[in-house]
Amino acid sequence: MYVFNNLMFINPINNTLYKIKTITFDDKGIINNLDLERIPSENIENYNTFVTYSFIDLHTHTRIPGDNQETPKSIQESALHGGYDTLVAMANTHPPVDNPQILNFVLEQFKSLDIDIKQLSAISSGLKGEQKINFDKMSSYGAFGFSEDGKWVYNTQIMLDVLNYAKINNKTIFTHNEDVFLAQNKTIINDGEISKKFGLDGIKNIAESTAVLRDCYLSYLTGAKIHLQHISTKESIEIIKYFKKIGANITAETAPHYFSLTEFDIKTADNGYYKVNPPLRTQDDKIGIIKALKDGTIDTIATDHAPHLDSEKNISFKNAKPGFVGLDLAFSIGLTYLYDKKYLNLFDLVRKFNEKPAQIINKQLPKLEVGNKVNLTFFNTKEEWEVKKEEIKSNCKNTPFLGKKLKGKVKGIFINGKYFGNF
């Protein structure tokens, strides 16, 4: 049995702040006693520690199976450390999740974890974009949805096929939007001042927005639900806004680095610590992303947690692998760059991490009531701290935020009747 006293509970569903005087859980995490009182939220800035529903990440690269970047245990520790109880796992593993045997193997690895990992299936065999896989078979083996993340489905016929399947079978297609032909033979860096300075041939915004345009249009035509991953450009936002207005069944995410960093943060071409796909963009793009988070064009913040070994990052920018670890730090980055800077209020920020992703994957957040099982994430909004390697629970430490100061921190998580904390 667990008892907590005097917690400030943020309920993003009805924009309400509650003081939980006492909450008691049984061993399975079911509430058996609750005494709470609603309090005005006007002076929410005066408080600094809160609890809310645990977070959901719609974009995790578990690297399982992979090349020792993560283990099921390290992925779970990283998720718990970041306040997450649910992850949606990408299919571009090594080998990829494109057949029932691999899918089975992966689900077996995750079975005994406390966190809930929903595994996506690839769309084409080997993520090559040539041969579609058997969607029905993968669903029957437990594929949660479909994504070719890491690559764009350039074959429009295959994309139409998977969308038609998704529409009939109520599945979501998660899309990595990058026109392969416009990005071909380029280094994954924004085509701009910094790429020129380093003598690298970068990628233009149009590579993303063209792909966003096609996929929004196909979603609109078929009625299938697509979730646009890691949106990074202001042009994409205008397209998403338009298609939402005319009723397309689309949602969109961005990742923490697109509202906090720009290409100007890349100081050297000697290593790839700031290399990510899509690349860090311009100040205008960053402002566009923040505005889209505010007005709801971008529904959610996902981590794009992409662990890489030091041997894959500490080499020339040109040759390094793209991606950052994200689970440990995403909410702190949100608190620092969106809440503390007053772009989003605390309800709206929290909503991007729990209520919105829950809606996108049709997960019902439980009411805080006796008899319900609830997972809670504990956080502080005012603690200032410096990111050190020891703070990252992922097996890999590849984040450009190492050495940076953040304001606000996840302090613990209560999941399935167990508390993990004192981070």
Residues lying near Zn ion in the complex (CB under 5 A): 149, 176
User: Could you tell me which residues are beta bridge partners of residue 379?
Assistant: 50, 410
- Is the CB of 92 or the CB of 375 nearer to Zn ion? 92
Helix/strand/coil for 414: strand
Q: What is the smallest separation between the CB atom of 325 and Zn ion, expressed in angstroms?
A: 15
- Residues near 185 by Cβ (< 8 Å), separated by ≥ 6? 201
- Least Å distance, CB 149 to Zn ion, is 4
Which residues of 283-354 form beta strands (DSSP E)?
300-301
> Residue 277 Cβ, how far from Zn ion at the closest point, in Å?
6
Q: Is 304 a catalytic residue?
A: yes
Q: What are phi and psi of 421, to 5 degrees?
A: -160, -155
Residue of minimal CB distance from Zn ion?
176
Q: CB-wise, 59 or 409, nearer to Zn ion?
A: 59
In the bound state with Zn ion, the residue whose beta carbon lies nearer, of 174 and 379, is 174
Please state the closest distance from residue 376 (CB atom) to Zn ion, in A: 30
Distance of CA 55 to the CA centre of its chain: 10
**Beta strands 172-175; 145-147: pairing state:** parallel
Residue tagged 């606000």 (tokens): 408
**Structure token pair of residue 212:** 């966003």
Shortest Å, Cβ 58 to Zn ion: 12
Assigned token pair, 270: 């000697």
Between 149 and 215, whose beta carbon lies closer to Zn ion?
149
Nearer to Zn ion, 255 or 406 (CB): 255
* Distance in Å, CB of 148 to Zn ion, minimum: 9
- Smallest gap from Cβ 215 to Zn ion, in A, equals 13
Exposed, middle or buried, 114 (CB in 10 Å: 0-12/13-18/19+)? Answer: middle
Residue 221 has φ and ψ, to the nearest 5°, of: -65, -45
Q: Which is nearer to Zn ion, 91 or 218 (CB)?
A: 91
Cα distances (angstroms) measured from residue 332 to each of 34, 51, 200, 335: 29, 14, 32, 5
Nearer to Zn ion, 149 or 179 (CB): 149
Q: In b/e form, how buried is each residue of 372-391, taking b as 16+ CB within 10 angstroms?
A: eebbbbbbbbeeeeebeeeb
Question: What percent of the chain is helix, strand and coil (3-state, nearest 5)?
Answer: 35, 25, 45
Q: Determine whether 37 is exposed, middle or buried from the number of CB atoms within 10 Å of its CB (0-12, 13-18, 19+).
A: exposed
DSSP labels, 162-222 = HHHHHHHHT-EEEE----HHHHTT--SSBTTHHHHHTT---B-THHHHHHHHHHHHHHHHH
Cβ proximity to Zn ion, 77 vs 149, nearer residue: 149
Helix (H, G, I), strand (E, B) or coil at 241: helix
Min separation Cβ 201 and Zn ion, Å? 20
CA distance 84 to 127: 28
Catalytic residue among 85, 304, 328, 348: 304
Q: Write out the catalytic residue numbers.
A: 304
